Amino acid sequence: MIYEPFDVVVVPFPFTDSSKAKRRPALVLSQATDFGNIIEHTILAMITSQKNESWPLDVVIRNKKSSGLAAPSVVRMKLFTLDNRFILRKIGQLSKADQTQVKQSLLKIFDYLN
Protein backbone atom coordinates (compact mmCIF):
# COMPACT_ATOMS: atom_id res chain seq x y z
CA MET A 1 0.00 0.00 0.00
CA ILE A 2 1.20 3.51 -0.78
CA TYR A 3 0.74 6.17 1.89
CA GLU A 4 0.80 9.88 1.17
CA PRO A 5 1.64 12.84 3.40
CA PHE A 6 -1.18 13.71 5.81
CA ASP A 7 -2.84 10.31 5.62
CA VAL A 8 -4.08 9.20 9.03
CA VAL A 9 -3.19 5.55 9.59
CA VAL A 10 -3.45 2.99 12.38
CA VAL A 11 -0.25 1.43 13.70
CA PRO A 12 0.70 -0.79 16.66
CA PHE A 13 2.31 1.37 19.37
CA PRO A 14 4.34 -0.51 21.98
CA PHE A 15 4.06 0.43 25.61
CA THR A 16 7.38 1.54 27.08
CA ASP A 17 6.91 -0.66 30.15
CA SER A 18 5.97 -3.94 28.42
CA SER A 19 6.05 -5.93 25.21
CA LYS A 20 2.35 -5.33 24.52
CA ALA A 21 1.16 -2.96 21.83
CA LYS A 22 -2.07 -1.06 21.22
CA ARG A 23 -3.45 0.19 17.94
CA ARG A 24 -3.06 3.94 17.68
CA PRO A 25 -3.51 6.57 14.97
CA ALA A 26 -0.48 8.23 13.41
CA LEU A 27 0.10 10.84 10.72
CA VAL A 28 2.12 10.09 7.59
CA LEU A 29 4.77 12.74 6.95
CA SER A 30 7.05 11.23 4.30
CA GLN A 31 6.45 11.07 0.56
CA ALA A 32 6.08 7.65 -0.97
CA THR A 33 7.93 8.54 -4.16
CA ASP A 34 11.06 9.94 -2.52
CA PHE A 35 11.23 7.71 0.53
CA GLY A 36 8.58 5.10 1.23
CA ASN A 37 8.59 3.23 -2.06
CA ILE A 38 12.38 2.94 -2.04
CA ILE A 39 12.89 1.48 1.44
CA GLU A 40 9.28 0.53 2.27
CA HIS A 41 9.28 2.60 5.45
CA THR A 42 7.22 5.66 6.39
CA ILE A 43 8.00 8.62 8.65
CA LEU A 44 5.08 9.27 11.00
CA ALA A 45 4.00 11.60 13.79
CA MET A 46 2.07 10.49 16.85
CA ILE A 47 -1.62 11.35 17.15
CA THR A 48 -3.04 11.36 20.66
CA SER A 49 -6.37 12.06 22.31
CA GLN A 50 -4.83 12.12 25.77
CA LYS A 51 -5.42 15.28 27.71
CA ASN A 52 -2.02 15.20 29.39
CA GLU A 53 0.23 18.22 29.39
CA SER A 54 0.64 19.51 25.86
CA TRP A 55 3.93 19.55 24.00
CA PRO A 56 5.33 22.53 22.14
CA LEU A 57 4.04 22.58 18.56
CA ASP A 58 1.11 20.21 19.19
CA VAL A 59 -1.50 20.68 16.46
CA VAL A 60 -5.16 20.32 17.39
CA ILE A 61 -7.00 18.42 14.65
CA ARG A 62 -10.00 20.64 13.95
CA ASN A 63 -11.67 18.57 11.23
CA LYS A 64 -12.29 15.26 12.96
CA LYS A 65 -14.55 13.95 10.18
CA SER A 66 -11.98 13.98 7.36
CA SER A 67 -9.27 12.58 9.64
CA GLY A 68 -11.35 9.50 10.47
CA LEU A 69 -10.63 9.94 14.19
CA ALA A 70 -13.29 9.05 16.75
CA ALA A 71 -12.12 11.42 19.50
CA PRO A 72 -10.74 14.97 19.66
CA SER A 73 -7.02 14.59 18.99
CA VAL A 74 -3.72 16.38 18.45
CA VAL A 75 -0.75 15.69 16.21
CA ARG A 76 2.24 15.46 18.52
CA MET A 77 5.70 16.08 17.08
CA LYS A 78 6.91 12.73 18.36
CA LEU A 79 8.32 11.43 15.09
CA PHE A 80 9.28 7.88 14.17
CA THR A 81 9.97 5.64 11.17
CA LEU A 82 8.03 2.42 10.71
CA ASP A 83 8.22 -0.47 8.26
CA ASN A 84 5.15 -0.24 6.00
CA ARG A 85 4.23 -3.83 6.84
CA PHE A 86 3.23 -2.63 10.33
CA ILE A 87 0.80 0.02 9.09
CA LEU A 88 -2.56 -1.64 9.63
CA ARG A 89 -4.81 0.63 7.57
CA LYS A 90 -5.60 4.17 6.46
CA ILE A 91 -8.58 5.78 8.23
CA GLY A 92 -8.59 9.29 6.77
CA GLN A 93 -6.60 12.33 5.77
CA LEU A 94 -6.12 15.69 7.45
CA SER A 95 -8.10 18.59 6.05
CA LYS A 96 -6.15 21.28 4.16
CA ALA A 97 -6.46 23.63 7.16
CA ASP A 98 -5.08 20.99 9.55
CA GLN A 99 -2.31 20.16 7.05
CA THR A 100 -1.27 23.83 7.05
CA GLN A 101 -0.98 23.81 10.85
CA VAL A 102 1.15 20.64 10.81
CA LYS A 103 3.41 22.14 8.12
CA GLN A 104 3.91 25.24 10.27
CA SER A 105 4.94 23.11 13.26
CA LEU A 106 7.35 21.08 11.13
CA LEU A 107 8.87 24.26 9.69
CA LYS A 108 9.52 25.50 13.22
CA ILE A 109 11.25 22.23 14.12
CA PHE A 110 13.33 22.09 10.94
CA ASP A 111 13.71 25.81 10.23
CA TYR A 112 17.49 25.40 10.09
CA LEU A 113 17.00 23.65 6.73
CA ASN A 114 15.91 26.92 5.05
3-state secondary structure of 44: strand
Strand partners, 47: 75
For 24-65, write each residue's pLDDT tens digit.
999 999 998 878 888 899 999 999 997 778 899 999 999 999
Is 15's pLDDT higher than 80? no
| All domains in the chain, ordered by first residue | 7-113 (2.30.30.110)
User: How far is it, in rounded angstroms, from Cα 60 to Cα 52?
Assistant: 13
Mean pLDDT of 91-107: 98
Per-residue pLDDT band at 18 (split at 50, 70, 90): low
Q: Give the mean pLDDT of the chain.
A: 91
Predicted local distance difference test score (pLDDT) of residue 14: 67
The answer for 66, left when phi > 0, alpha when psi is -120 to 50, beta otherwise, is: alpha
